[in-house]
Amino acid sequence: MTIISEVRRGNFLGVVERSWRQSGYEIKSVNTSRKFPAIYAQSEDGFGVSLTIGGGGQAFFEIDSPCVEESDVADPRTPSNGPDYSGGPIPRPDVYDDFWSFGGGLSASVVGVS
C-alpha cells in the first residue's frame, strides 16, 4: 500500500474529485483537513463513494449501495489470494513512491524499497 504524504494528499484527492465529476458523480462533501482529508460523492443512481486518508497516509475507498433486495449469492469457488484483515487491524502503508510519498519524512530505505 502506497504512502501518500501529507504534502501530496490534496493532489491525490483533487485527481479523484476531477475524475468523479467527469464521470457524473455529485460531490456531496469535502473534508479539507491537511492530515486526514476526505471526499464524499454520489452517483446518479444513488451509489455513495468516498475517499478518506487515514493514519500513515493510507487511502481508503468505500462504496455504499442504494437499498436493494437481498438475494442468494453462491459461496466463492476459489480461495482468496490476498490477505484477510477481517480479524485484525489494517497494516500501515509501506510502499514509497517518488511522487505520492514525497516529503513524507520517509526515505525509500526506511520502508525497504530499493
Is residue 57 a part of any domain in this protein?
yes
Distances (CA, A) of 20 to 3, 17, 26, 54, 63: 22, 5, 8, 20, 13
Is residue 27 a part of any domain in this protein?
yes
Is residue 94 a part of any domain in this protein?
no
Is residue 2 a part of any domain in this protein?
no
Is residue 44 a part of any domain in this protein?
yes
Query: What is the DSSP code (8-state) at residue 57?
Result: G
Domain interval for residue 38: 9-64
Is residue 46 a part of any domain in this protein?
yes
pLDDT one-digit tens code per residue, 55-90: 999 999 999 998 878 888 898 899 888 888 888 888
pLDDT tops 60 at residue 10:
yes
> For the chain, what is the domain count?
1
pLDDT at 82: 83
Mean pLDDT over the full length of the chain: 87
The DSSP result for 41-55, as a single string, is EE-TTS-EEEEEE-G
